[in-house]
Chains A and B, each alone.
Chain A
Amino acid sequence: MATVFIDNRPYQMDGKQNLLRGCLSAGLNLPYFCWHPALGSVGACRQCAIKQFKDEKDPRGKIVMACMTPAKDGARISIDDPETVEFRRAVIEGLMLNHPHDCPVCDEGGECHLQDMTVMTGHAYRRASIQKRTWRNQYLGPFVHHEMNRCIQCYRCVRYYRDYAGGTDLNSFALRDTVYFGREREGVLESEFAGNLVEVCPTGVFTDATFHRHYSRKWDLQFAPSICVHCGMGCNTSVAERYGSIRRTVNRYNGAVNGYFLCDRGRFGYEFNDSQGRLREARLRGRAVPREAAAGYLRLLSASGAIGIGSPRASLESNVALRELVGSQHFFAGIAGREAEVLELMLQVLRSGAARTPTLREIEEADAVFILGEDIGNTAPRMALSVRQSIRQKPMEIAAKLRIAPWLDYAVREAVQDVRGPLFIASPYATRLDGIATRVFRGGPDELARLGFAVARAIDPSAPAPDGVPEGAGEVAEALKSAHRPVIIAGAGLRGTALIRAAANIARARPGARLAFVAPEVNSFGLAMMGAPALDAALEAQGETLIVLENDLYRRAPGPVIDRFLERFHHVVVLDSLDTATGARAEMLLPAATYAEGDGTFVSSEARAQRVYQAFVPAEPIQESWRWLGDWQSLDQAIAAVATAFPLLYGITAAAPPASFRMAGRKIPREPHRYSGRASMLANIAVSEPRPPADADAPLNFSMEGYSGQPPAPLIPFFWAPGWNSYQAVNKFQEEIAGPLRGGDAGVRLIGPGRQAAAYYEPVSRDGEPRDGEPKDGSEWLIVPAYHVFGSEELSRHAPGIRELSPQPYIALNAADAAQFGGEAECLGQRVPVKVAPELPAGVAAVPAGIPPFLGFDLPRRVAIRKPL
């Protein structure tokens, strides 16, 4: 820590950081643009100018940029010095020369960092009479809207997009006061992290194009703290509602998990909430019925015994409610055999204490990463963004040797150039991270697992050896051994327990290594922790009634199998938020609240339990599944029931404060205090102002009234602080800038470090089985699922933008294999175009996962591919 005197008052700050970060951490207001806590300092905008004095006796001092100046112990600086105050005002005046001042028609208005900083510096009157430059804007795809006239040339967009997120198709062009930030040619932004530009841009150049279609001012939105449901990472989000529809999703900072960034599936998938396919009424044999009638019929059916099928995309509360309703022996997990096996094994490994699982922040800080058989760029995109940062860790040594502060972003990058830290990727097909990998290994799932076992063996000779010695294992082992903070990543994508066992062995062999598992869905881990039998067991179960919870079984098993299964029951009840193929076969359909409309708890891939809260009360009869199924009076009762039934899940009670929680005796408002139209919004229906709904489940209000300070992390609906209307108000909620939120980040880890030492797992045995890439009889291929960030996930597919970017069905083969088929091939009963993927091993084919028609096939498996007749 360093003591820095700011306007003659001492402040404690991190001496390894710069003065801007120190000042902001100290809670002081110092305006800035080009600096970003995740991007570091470059000194372009000159907005954070301060005076620095040599010592107490130096009366003049000199102007320096706070972001570029280290916070040295004993430093004396001034923010209030008149010369710097005037300078900062002049910088804003300069930035405003070309700015169109179109705030009233700009989507950023009211949450604009440029507005905030302009007010902060006191620049209020335009003195320049010069003509402003104007630009032609570009179409950048369904997610990001472009309005270049508003640009203030802070360079944040390109620094984020290129340097941080690894994109290449956004750039800065030309010079002077006419720098253009865009693509070389108009077109869809290629990066799956482009949506963060909306929050990275300090003004309205890049705005949310989905929000634009159903726009509302930030102050008019009702927010709820939420969790992204589109993969298993558990990124924290805020969902925002007005007039009964979800208008957008923004990042909700969590220092341990998503930090400042989301992926585009997470940010823009929310549009499924109001998509065409939404189920908004209870239907009995196709006819709408009132909530009470539907609930009554459900009670009647379940009284005489029912089979229940849970879901990895439903909350713990809903799954437990179904389990209690049907009885534990009649409850099944709703995921198919191999996926269930993999998840169970992941839990077993983590609980055994083979290794601690890292947070995403810890992955960012890793100095060697080995990704074993999981395409995280598509199955856990936010994790891939963290891995992208990890490759900068080791080269930081170069900068440190040259005494370049790690936050001096361009200086570091210029010193490091293209030196990258160790990243090894083993995958059957190309992944988005291949370009930055030290080395890429290709092979089928078993081949890759063998590599994993060999790496473990190369680290620790007492680890069991696989057959043969896969080439390159030693190199991976050496990198993991010599790293300080190695991370091993594996997942459920290829449904291979061998990959999980191999990853566990590596972690076991290298004490201190962290082991990250990627679970496929938002609550896969929560469901797995309930330990219920898999769907396969349910297929054998007998009963009169089947209750399916938020699960399209046709995505879990082949269509004919599910057809036969459903036919066995007299009554099929499906609870879901969307119309699904399973729902279409139901006798009764019950509309379930989405994560944005209901409360509940999800467990992420790092076994972090996190709560979601409804952003608004959905129109009847929509309600949480647990409310349909259980007889609990409140969320807290539901949580208590979960904790009682499953000791392993007891920790979820602490994931967020209970409904009775109050701050200064008051609840926390979901609406900003400037929320407008409360008295008039519904005046076309009734002129009296309706009473806001009560919320018995959460310490949150459906109102602008309530506690006006900072709530604990799990209960922050939106970030706002006086003078900080943009997202960057998050500065005021952190213990220190880019650190944890005050009082700790949201969520509770359910699995602590294990106590007993784990044993090694046995490697894959070959047992005369053909290798992955050896067709059995020349006609059978190993078909592996290929994941797509846009398209593979069920719910987000209903968002128009996501659907637009989803690939069409295909079958991918390497060039030689593809040559056998010409333009089309038939596989798994589907006729699809052939795509050449040169990197695929011979005999291995890939089809898009989760994208029709390849639903419900238990992949990977060996099947024939034929030339269509």
Chain B
Amino acid sequence: METPLTQNARPDCPPDRAAYERAGGYQALRIALRNLTPQAVIDEVKKSNLRGRGGAGFPTGLKWSLIPKDAPHPRYFAANADEMEPGTFKDRLLLEGGPHQFLEGLMLASYATKADVAYIFLRGEYVLAARRLEQAIAEAYAAGYLGRNILGSGYSLELYLHSSVGRYMCGEETALMNALEGKRANPRTKPPYPGTSGLWGKPTTVNNVETLCCVPHIVNRGAEWFRNLANTSSRAKDGGTKLYGASGKVKRPGLWELPMGATAREVLDRAGGMRGDLRLRGLLPGGASTDFMTEEHLDVPLDFTQPQKVGTRMGTGTMIVLDDRTCPVGMVWNLEQFFARESCGWCTPCWSGLAWVERILRALEEGQGKPGDLERLEFQTRFFGPGRTFCALAPGAAEPLQSALKYFREDFERHIREQRCPWS
């Protein structure tokens, strides 16, 4: 089984430029700049069925072709390294373990979208990653992979690293742009989409770290190879490998690069199953803003389409596991506390609704639940529905809540009936 993204990742001691080059690094950049037009890179990525690894799964090649033909310069590219989804730590491994692979992907993506300037928008707490990126960027500049007239191709790219001050909201691509511009990190009106009017009003493309890390391998080894990395059932719409993770009370929490379309059962197996005599009650397949899966769904391939059949989505692919001795209401309360806290305060359903949801869940946990609370929570999840909010934060927050109300209804009801948290 191939693991192109992580085979050279060394979080303890990442490969420097020379080591990366020895392992075939920056070959893709050379190929692209020498032999491929930007359009050819886009076409290859399109054929590879690479989809955005930030969680939404938007086809990457398509995203790159959304910039209007006659769009003005400067154009921008932003790498979204603001990994703040609860339970998600996949980009961290890629950044700390092999910054050059990521940089090469970013350069290729910038070349494909004809960007003049690229930014890395990095989560503030990723201090080690920042240090390693700074080092890698300096090496890349020194080697002529960045700057003016890269490798004599005529293509120029400036790259800046920006460490965020730390708000979940900044991971939303348009809020990220506002943050980069030094403005309040509220999401922006769409349309216009960033490809039309992005950073400083100029065409901009934003991609997740893991997505970008795939790109050098696609250019090196071709779209077909990449597509075939995915499991058979996923290949039609997805390509490549995926970093899957598991946290919670499993034996060996961690992160594994598996073929796209691995099942939750395979991931749990990697994690060694549940700890001690704990039983699995459910899991959030891809970070906090996905719907719960339960034992019966463990064999659903985790890609960007198939989990929809059981009412959830892969998201970031890093699952949070719920065991039978942890209160599901408490877990959801914890998550909703996070979402309520991170609401940017822009649209009413989000800032008011999440605050209310969080307060109801707290009341349940503190033994002050009231009849009608669950109906209210259900109403609120609909209140966060499509078109009703300004961005995807509140709809994401609704996902664990609505599915918990579905799968763990009896636990919620017991909180009200017994006027206490049965797990406490």
- A and B: bona fide binding partners: yes
Q: What's the Cα separation between A436 and B423 when bound, in Å?
A: 62
Contact flags A411-445 to B (C-beta < 8 A → 1, else 0): 10011110000000000000000000000000000
Contact flags B338-359 to A (C-beta < 8 A → 1, else 0): 0011111111110111111001
Interface pick from B47-55, B88-96, B296-304, B385-393? B385-393
Within 8 A of B (CB), among A234-293: none
A97 and B356 contacting across the interface, CB-CB below 8 Å: yes
Closest Cβ neighbor of B184 among chain A residues: A172
Answer whether residue B197 sits at the interface, using C-beta atoms and an 8 A cutoff: yes
Least Cβ–Cβ distance between A761 and chain B, in angstroms: 43
A64 and B387 contacting across the interface, CB-CB below 8 Å: yes
A415 and B192 contacting across the interface, CB-CB below 8 Å: yes
Within 8 A of A (CB), among B358-384: 359, 363, 370, 372, 376, 379, 383
CB-CB under 8 A from B169, the residues of chain A are: 175
Least Cβ–Cβ distance between A180 and chain B, in angstroms: 10
CB-CB under 8 A from A179, the residues of chain B are: 345, 351
Q: A44-B348, A46-B347 are in contact. Are A63 and B387 (CB under 8 A)?
A: yes
Q: What's the Cα separation between A98 and B351 when bound, in Å?
A: 11
Least Cβ–Cβ distance between A129 and chain B, in angstroms: 8
B356 and A130 contacting across the interface, CB-CB below 8 Å: yes
Least Cβ–Cβ distance between A171 and chain B, in angstroms: 9
A153 and B351 contacting across the interface, CB-CB below 8 Å: yes
Q: What's the Cα separation between A46 and B387 when bound, in Å?
A: 10
B390 and A44 contacting across the interface, CB-CB below 8 Å: yes
Answer whether residue A691 sits at the interface, using C-beta atoms and an 8 A cutoff: no
Q: A87-B388, A398-B201, A417-B200 are in contact. Are A97 and B189 (CB under 8 A)?
A: no
Closest Cβ neighbor of A96 among chain B residues: B352
Q: What's the Cα separation between A128 and B192 when bound, in Å?
A: 37
CB-CB under 8 A from B353, the residues of chain A are: 94
Q: A130-B359, A177-B351, A177-B355 are in contact. Are A44 and B388 (CB under 8 A)?
A: no
A414 and B188 contacting across the interface, CB-CB below 8 Å: yes
A49 and B388 contacting across the interface, CB-CB below 8 Å: yes
Closest Cβ neighbor of B177 among chain A residues: A414
- Contact among B345, B370, B386 for A174, CB-based, below 8 A: B345
B197 and A68 contacting across the interface, CB-CB below 8 Å: no
- Contact among B201, B345, B387 for A175, CB-based, below 8 A: B345
Least Cβ–Cβ distance between B343 and chain A, in angstroms: 5
Least Cβ–Cβ distance between A15 and chain B, in angstroms: 18
B349 and A91 contacting across the interface, CB-CB below 8 Å: yes
B359 and A175 contacting across the interface, CB-CB below 8 Å: no
CB-CB under 8 A from B348, the residues of chain A are: 44-47, 91, 94-95, 152-153
Least Cβ–Cβ distance between A181 and chain B, in angstroms: 11
Answer whether residue A664 sits at the interface, using C-beta atoms and an 8 A cutoff: no
CB-CB under 8 A from A127, the residues of chain B are: 372, 376
Q: Using a Cβ–Cβ cut-off of 8 Å, how many residues does chain A contribute to the interface with B?
A: 45
Answer whether residue A564 sits at the interface, using C-beta atoms and an 8 A cutoff: no
Answer whether residue B63 sits at the interface, using C-beta atoms and an 8 A cutoff: no
Q: What's the Cα separation between A90 and B379 when bound, in Å?
A: 9
Q: A95-B352, A176-B354 are in contact. Are A43 and B345 (CB under 8 A)?
A: no
Least Cβ–Cβ distance between B309 and chain A, in angstroms: 21
A411 and B188 contacting across the interface, CB-CB below 8 Å: yes
CB-CB under 8 A from B388, the residues of chain A are: 46, 49, 63, 87
Q: What's the Cα separation between A45 and B349 when bound, in Å?
A: 8
A176 and B342 contacting across the interface, CB-CB below 8 Å: yes
Answer whether residue A410 sits at the interface, using C-beta atoms and an 8 A cutoff: yes
What is the predominant secondary structure among interface residues of chain A facing chain B?
Answer: loop
CB-CB under 8 A from A152, the residues of chain B are: 348
- Looking at A43, A178, A402, the one whose CB has the most chain B CB atoms below 10 A away is A402
CB-CB under 8 A from B341, the residues of chain A are: 176
Q: What's the Cα separation between A417 and B184 when bound, in Å?
A: 15
Least Cβ–Cβ distance between B121 and chain A, in angstroms: 17
Q: What's the Cα separation between A155 and B192 when bound, in Å?
A: 21
Q: A175-B343, A175-B345 are in contact. Are A411 and B356 (CB under 8 A)?
A: no
Answer whether residue A42 sits at the interface, using C-beta atoms and an 8 A cutoff: yes
A411 and B390 contacting across the interface, CB-CB below 8 Å: no
Q: What's the Cα separation between A153 and B186 when bound, in Å?
A: 13
CB-CB under 8 A from B376, the residues of chain A are: 127
- Contact among A90, A177, A402, A410 for B345, CB-based, below 8 A: A177
Within 8 A of A (CB), among B254-296: none
Within 8 A of B (CB), among A143-190: 152-153, 155, 172, 174-179
CB-CB under 8 A from B344, the residues of chain A are: 175-176
Within 8 A of B (CB), among A76-128: 87, 90-91, 93-95, 97-98, 127-128
CB-CB under 8 A from B200, the residues of chain A are: 417
Closest Cβ neighbor of B68 among chain A residues: A402
Q: What's the Cα separation between A98 and B356 when bound, in Å?
A: 10
A404 and B197 contacting across the interface, CB-CB below 8 Å: yes
Answer whether residue A788 sits at the interface, using C-beta atoms and an 8 A cutoff: no
A411 and B197 contacting across the interface, CB-CB below 8 Å: yes
Answer whether residue B39 sits at the interface, using C-beta atoms and an 8 A cutoff: no
Answer whether residue B305 sits at the interface, using C-beta atoms and an 8 A cutoff: no
CB-CB under 8 A from B189, the residues of chain A are: 42-43, 68, 408, 410-411, 414
Least Cβ–Cβ distance between A558 and chain B, in angstroms: 53
- Contact among B191, B354, B387 for A62, CB-based, below 8 A: B387
CB-CB under 8 A from A410, the residues of chain B are: 188-189
B352 and A94 contacting across the interface, CB-CB below 8 Å: yes
Q: A128-B356, A402-B192 are in contact. Are A178 and B387 (CB under 8 A)?
A: no
Q: What's the Cα separation between A45 and B347 when bound, in Å?
A: 5
Closest Cβ neighbor of B196 among chain A residues: A402
Q: What's the Cα separation between A398 and B385 when bound, in Å?
A: 33
Q: What's the Cα separation between A177 and B385 when bound, in Å?
A: 19
Least Cβ–Cβ distance between A733 and chain B, in angstroms: 28
A416 and B345 contacting across the interface, CB-CB below 8 Å: no
Closest Cβ neighbor of A172 among chain B residues: B184
A44 and B347 contacting across the interface, CB-CB below 8 Å: yes
B192 and A62 contacting across the interface, CB-CB below 8 Å: no
Q: What's the Cα separation between A93 and B341 when bound, in Å?
A: 20
Q: What's the Cα separation between A45 and B192 when bound, in Å?
A: 20
- Contact among B201, B343, B372, B383 for A415, CB-based, below 8 A: B201
Q: What's the Cα separation between A514 and B370 when bound, in Å?
A: 68
- Contact among B197, B349, B355, B363 for A46, CB-based, below 8 A: B349
Answer whether residue B251 sits at the interface, using C-beta atoms and an 8 A cutoff: no
- Looking at A63, A68, A175, the one whose CB has the most chain B CB atoms below 10 A away is A175
Given A46-B348, A415-B192, 11 more A-B residue pairs with CB atoms under 8 Å apart are A45-B347, A49-B388, A90-B379, A97-B356, A129-B363, A152-B348, A175-B342, A176-B345, A177-B354, A403-B192, A410-B188
Nearest 6 A/B pairs, CB to CB: A94-B352, A179-B345, A130-B359, A415-B197, A177-B355, A415-B201
User: Can you list 14 A-B pairs, Cβ within 8 angstroms, ordered by A?
Assistant: A46-B389, A91-B349, A94-B353, A95-B348, A175-B167, A175-B351, A177-B345, A177-B352, A179-B345, A398-B201, A410-B188, A414-B197, A415-B197, A416-B201
Please give the residue numbers on chain A whose beta carbons come within 8 Å of chain B beta carbons, in ascending order: 42-47, 49, 62-64, 68, 87, 90-91, 93-95, 97-98, 127-131, 152-153, 155, 172, 174-179, 398, 402-404, 408, 410-411, 414-417
